[in-house]
Amino acid sequence: MSKVNRLLSQVFDINAELKSRDQRIALRKLFSNPDPWVRLNAARIILDIAPIEARAVIQAIANSKSYPVAGDAGMCLSFFDGELSNLKAP
């Protein structure tokens, strides 16, 4: 689990750096990466600046039924589409 935490920390750091330089759109190149996790993370990061293209990538991953990444992509779409906005904390 520590490897996952370290990698996620690196992803967040890279995102922050790209955002500060306004270079996140460069991540579109990763939409053709063979690893669905790479594609999903790239799409999430640029969802606000390229929503149509990023959403299509996320939708394709969700449709792939390749779990667990497909489930994660489906949750991302639910948040994006506002389906989870009405949930209340227990």
**Count of beta carbons in the 10 Å neighbourhood of residue 3:** 7
- 42-69: pLDDT as tens digits: 999 898 888 899 999 999 999 999 999 9
DSSP 46-71: TTTTSHHHHHHHHHHHHHTT-TTHHH
Q: What pLDDT score does 74 carry?
A: 94
Q: Is 89 left (phi over 0), alpha (psi -120 to 50) or beta?
A: beta
Rounded CA gap, 66 and 37, in Å? 11
Summary mean pLDDT of the chain: 84
Least confident interval from 35-39, 59-63, 77-81: 77-81
